[in-house]
Structure 1
Amino acid sequence: APTAPQTVGRVSPTDVVLSPTGEQGRWQLRVDTRHPVLFEHPVDHVPGMMLLEAARQATAATLGSPTLPLRVASTFARYAELDAPCLIEARRLPGDGTAREDSVLVTAVQEGELTFSATVTAASPRTN
């Protein structure tokens, strides 16, 4: 089941790529190979675009408001496979208290191995 769309900046549940795990800051990647944008052609692994969308959604959930990233610095360490669960974890990074931005570190782990990490920086909700 998808995470509630409004918590990750989406309207439709079909566009939500995160499923709740019962732990704060942790989700299972929700892979729907029928999604017309994320899987516009057949692939044998999770597309990078899907992992970036998972990072954006996890950032929105972590910050508590829908937001568009200002910057994303990401690393793709290995392929995320379609046939094994992939856990997405997010944590807000400490700021200096003066910035009008918030950063969230998002990681994807599959079978105990880091597959992807991203630092997503967004406008602080308190400055919107």
Structure 2
Amino acid sequence: MKLKFSEGVFECIENPPQFFASLGNLHDATIISVARTAPGGVCFIIGDVFNNFVDFPEYPGEFGAAIILAGSTDCEWTVSASHLFGKKINDFEVFPAHSADAKYRLEIACHAMDRYVMNFDKAEIRIAR
């Protein structure tokens, strides 16, 4: 699996649904932290964005990432953000939002049944080894 982004530089994700699907929707990746950014954004720090591919030949090694979703609206949490720290992701799925307020809809499901949903307009990622 080839890395499409430069290490250490925030870059725009042009097609978030396709991008996250190509990473297996971050299945089995760990959420290190979640924080609000200004204005109206959320930053997810992910342990290894390629964790879904660990036992496959295409696994490129461990790469952590900061994912910033800007223009967030309609956030729904079943738990507080701090309860997501250290949780394994089951799905980090992005869909078209079908909303006048946002372009995309993110739905995160964790193995512990925690759930997070939000709409957003723009996604950026910074990869780090």
Higher share in helix: 1
Same fold (TM over 0.5): no
TM-score (normalizing by structure 2): 0.41
Higher share in strand: 2
RCO (CA 8 Å, sep 6+): is it higher in 1 or 2?
2
